[in-house]
Structure 1
Amino acid sequence: MFFTVLARARSLAFCALAGAALLGLAACSGNLEPSDKDIRRAETLRPKAAALAERYERSCITCHARPGTGAPLSGHAAAWKKPLQKGMPQLLQSAKQGINAMPAMGMCQDCSDAELEQLIRFMAGQE
């Protein structure tokens, strides 16, 4: 009986410690899963410049305003933290060549490098 109680206590303590560790890791890494508020915001975000907004709506919004596409959600800082660590030259190169499921030029064949960079900065919340 004593050993059963001791085993259960150890099990509960382990579960509590493991849970605390996971919560700590989640807090350190930022929440990559967008909240409903993040999703609603991404659905309504548009660049201020009309020409850039038009390109965003025709090329980027399909994947960057919807969760579950594999693309970082527009305006969701936690989702953009890791990509931004690569630096703008690498992000621009990835946008031009395509990355994972994203096609080359992000479906904006008429976007200049400057426009692609502006779109990346907008989606990452830097503008």
Structure 2
Amino acid sequence: MKKYQQYTPTYLLGIVISYSAFAADSENYDAAAGYQASCFACHGTGQAHAPLLGDVIEWEIRAEKGVETLVQNTINGLNGIMPARGLCVDCTDDQLRAIVEYILEESK
């Protein structure tokens, strides 16, 4: 048991440093580039009746549900039409949130 106690502070420090690096990465994430890379195929063309970026009325309707609902729909997919994670399989949840917020901001 003492052996594990000896290493615990080192492991905790590693976790804190890793989280700090992740948090900094999320803050610097370019949501516009993320949108272009993963969302434009549908939300830039209307594929599968996806609401277009900049369509104020369509995004107002969705914004009424709340950002958290939109983020969860993005993460989990929606009605078998929008794929889970919106085609960005390597995006973190925070990055997906940033993209959703970007879309809402650009659609006001």
The TM tier, using the shorter chain, reads: 0.5 to 0.7
What is the CA–CA distance in structure 1 between the aligned matches of 2:85 and 2:53, rounded to whole Å? Answer: 17
Query: Is residue 37 of structure 2 the alignment partner of residue 58 of structure 1?
Result: yes
Unaligned runs of 5+ in 2: 1-27
Q: Which residue of 2 aligns with 1:73?
A: 52
Structure with larger Rg: 1
Please report the TM-score for the alignment, with normalisation by the length of structure 1: 0.54
Unaligned runs of 5+ in 1: 1-48
Relative to structure 1, is the Cα distance of residues 64 and 89 closer, same or farther in structure 2, using a 3 angstrom cutoff?
same
Q: Number of matched residues?
A: 79
Query: Is residue 88 of structure 2 the alignment partner of residue 113 of structure 1?
Result: no
What is the CA–CA distance in structure 2 between the aligned matches of 1:91 and 1:50, rounded to whole Å? Answer: 19
Q: Percent identity?
A: 33
What is the CA–CA distance in structure 1 between the aligned matches of 2:38 and 2:69, rounded to whole Å? Answer: 20
Larger relative contact order (C-alpha < 8 A, sep ≥ 6)? 2
What is the CA–CA distance in structure 1 between the aligned matches of 2:67 and 2:29, rounded to whole Å? Answer: 23
Please report the TM-score for the alignment, with normalisation by the length of structure 2: 0.63
Aligned AA (2:88) = C
